Structure 1
Amino acid sequence: MSAARHDPSPVNPNAAPALFPRQIAVMTLALVACSFAGNHVAARLAFENGTGLLLAVLCRSGVALLILISIVTMQRHSIRLPRRLGRWQLLLGLMITIQSLCLYSAVARVPVALALLTANTFPIILALLTWGLGGARPTLKSAALMLFILSGLVLALDLPGILGGGIAVTDEWWLGIVFALMAATALSVAFWVTDHKLAALNGSVRSMFTMVVVFIAMIMAGIGDVLPGGMATPQALPGWIGLAVLVTLYGSAFSVLFITVPRLDMARNAPVMNVEPIATLLFGWVVLDQMISPIQMVGGLIVVSGIVILTLRKSA
């Protein structure tokens, strides 16, 4: 301790923290991904037992907001938001609000793994959105990867069997898939706004303001009864357990990710997060007895592997 106190070498408080060893970083990201997967499965359990959609998002965003306020306070970041960025920050918050509502709406209607696989196609939408707004045109290899991912999604959803009449699905199933695609679109817009309009804003501060918007939006929607039954409390013990686990897992994963992200070498290790749909498949089977067919499993693996390859190519 005394040696450190009398060390004459200068210390730069703004220096980047040392990176974790690769194995620790990978295990941390895998744990975070599994926690997020468990959060979605717990959400389905809560919804099946009467929990309102708005209440689930409100509780989740409230915990995340408390965590971010603590991080911003401890790190003593300025929370002054430049006026020119205000509208973009509001748009980001609204996109995350829509993404949260749509994803949970999808989870409530279709097997959780299928909802996550469909929503995880957002890199394709983001690439096309970036191109449409004047960014770089996707390369031929990227376009081929996108088609590869979409072919996997077709198998994961078993569209040939559905369109051929061999598998019957309800209107609620189709609505769930539409909600998952809407969640992917909203998340793509959120990423575009973050990268092109709010990149100069500190990440913790930006996320804090985003969660403020989500939290306030949920309260306003609840007061206005925008979604009937949206603030309903669980009607049975499993619903309360699902809601508690949802909040705990999301809050824990959110905390670990935000606190350790400077040491995780995300440019190299981010593809590990794509284990989330696979973990969701396992948890959905164990907790909810949700099973998908072998052909759907193959499609899911194609989607995940394609997204991993696409992410690795962008970070290379």
Structure 2
Amino acid sequence: MPQLIHRPYAILILVVTATLFAGNHISARIAFEHDTGLLLAILLRGLTALSLMLIIAYRQRASFAIPAGQRFWVFSLGILIALQSLCLYSSIVRIPVAMSLLLVNTWPMMFILASWIMGKRQPDALTFGLLFFILVGLALVLDVTSLGNMTAEKQIGIILGLLAALFLAITMWLTQYHLHALPGSVRSAYTMMTVVAVMIIAGAMDWVPGGLKVPQATEGWFGLLGLSILYGIAFTLLFVLAPRLDMGRNSPVLNFEPVASLFLGFVFLGQFLLPMQLVGGAIVIAGILAIGFKGQ
């Protein structure tokens, strides 16, 4: 077993990683505001992550052979990540980045509910209470009393954010219960291969009009480059150091991502949430952290 990094440093690394992920989404919004195609952004991000995963797998001398019984699940994982990426980036285009990320970070709640329904875990009163606590916070973030007055674009953005969370929850389910035996670098490489292939096919078939459109301004190119580099660094940092970060204990720290996006979104995009929405966001993050650390 690899030697664990001292916990304060592990938490710092996870905070930096969450901030890099948030920066990736801020860069994506900048790229999209300058007419960058949705598919092109996901394609370039996927190619960057795939290249890094192939390098890691090669250095680890990992075998790329997939047991026959797991090939379907590996392919399904790639499709789900492709759909999750499309939904998340489509949500970011329509609503503030922080709101999108708060919606996506409800996936642990969906995972827990699915675990109860499928009989993988036994319900308990404390977790149920925390889930209700998160739902109250989410209602404040979404300002549910004014949903009927929101534009159709914002309503679609909220739905897409929740769909992104759903796809991510299913992805985590498959990883934990069907693909846990497959080496992480190999699983990630095949996942990114599928994502890249889906984006190329979708672009060639014009399933998303203008999906492969290049940026129309220098800022768009910087956004496109930024989202690829930041995602690649964060993804690789998390993957390489995960065995030493005691993720079973410290992974809830990654929920710092929406907090980082609030600051970055204000600085680079001029986005902000209403005070009550900020309170709701704090409730959501606190609830998710409580669930993550419960029983540690």
The answer to whether TM tops 0.5 is yes
Using the alignment, how far apart are the partners of 1:185 and 1:258 within structure 2? 22
- Superposition map of 1:53-64 within 5 A: 53-64=38-49
Q: Where does residue 45 of structure 1 map in the other structure?
A: 30
* Per-residue deviation, 1:134: 3.3
Q: Where does residue 239 of structure 2 map in the other structure?
A: 258
**Structure 2 length-normalised TM:** 0.97
* Per-residue deviation, 1:46: 0.5
* Per-residue deviation, 1:161: 3.9
**Which residues of structure 2 form unaligned runs of 5+?**
none
Tell me the percent identity: 46
Using the alignment, how far apart are the partners of 1:217 and 1:58 within structure 2? 9
Q: Where does residue 121 of structure 1 map in the other structure?
A: 106
- Is residue 2:225 matched to residue 1:240? no
Match of 2:13 among 28, 53, 74: 28
Q: Does the Cα contact within 8 Å between 2:99 and 2:141 map onto a contact in 1? A: yes
Q: Where does residue 7 of structure 1 map in the other structure?
A: none
**More displaced 10-residue stretch of structure 1: 33-42 or 202-211:** 202-211
Using the alignment, how far apart are the partners of 2:41 and 2:251 within structure 1? 27
Using the alignment, how far apart are the partners of 2:291 and 2:112 within structure 1? 11
**Structure 1 length-normalised TM:** 0.91
Partner letter of residue 198 of structure 2? A
Using the alignment, how far apart are the partners of 1:263 and 1:162 within structure 2? 44
User: What CA deviation, in whole Å up to 9, does each residue of 1:127-174 have, x standing for no partner?
Assistant: 1222333322431211111111011011011112445xxxx4210000
Larger radius of gyration: 1
* Greater helix fraction, Structure 1 or Structure 2: 2
Q: Does the Cα contact within 8 Å between 2:34 and 2:217 map onto a contact in 1? A: yes
Q: Where does residue 150 of structure 1 map in the other structure?
A: 135
Using the alignment, how far apart are the partners of 2:131 and 2:8 within structure 1? 29
Q: Where does residue 197 of structure 2 map in the other structure?
A: 216
- Is residue 2:42 matched to residue 1:74? no
SS of residue in 2 equivalent to 1:108? helix
Match of 1:189 among 166, 170, 176: 170
Partner letter of residue 243 of structure 2? P
Using the alignment, how far apart are the partners of 2:181 and 2:202 within structure 1? 31
Count of residues paired in the alignment: 296
Using the alignment, how far apart are the partners of 1:200 and 1:238 within structure 2? 42
User: What CA deviation, in whole Å up to 9, does each residue of 1:229-273 have, x standing for no partner?
Assistant: 111111111111111111111111112111111111111211211
